Amino acid sequence: MLKNSLTRGDASLPYPAKLAEGGVERAEIAHSGQWPMYANAVAMWDRIAAFVRRAEEF
């Protein structure tokens, strides 16, 4: 089953590891800081599109 995609998370926080244990995909958006839709919109939309394409295969 395809799980949600986590787009940003501080590695020092406990929740990214817990989500990964549950099969949630983590996506790092380069050069984006806390606002990936503004700082690197093209990479963010590319990642979202790839996730949606994989989800549609199910």
**3-53 pLDDT tens trace:** 555 555 555 677 777 888 888 888 888 888 788 889 999 999 999 999 999
- Could you tell me the residue ranges of all domains in the chain? 5-56
Q: How far is CA 21 from CA 39, 51, 54, in A?
A: 29, 19, 20
Residue 56 scores a pLDDT above 80: yes
**In the structure encoding, which two tokens stand for residue 7, read together?**
């787009």
Give the helix ranges, DSSP H, for the chain.
15-21, 36-39, 41-56
Place of tokens 């990479």: 43
Q: How many residues does the chain have?
A: 58
Residue 55 scores a pLDDT above 70: yes
What's the alpha-carbon Rg for the chain, to the nearest Å? 12
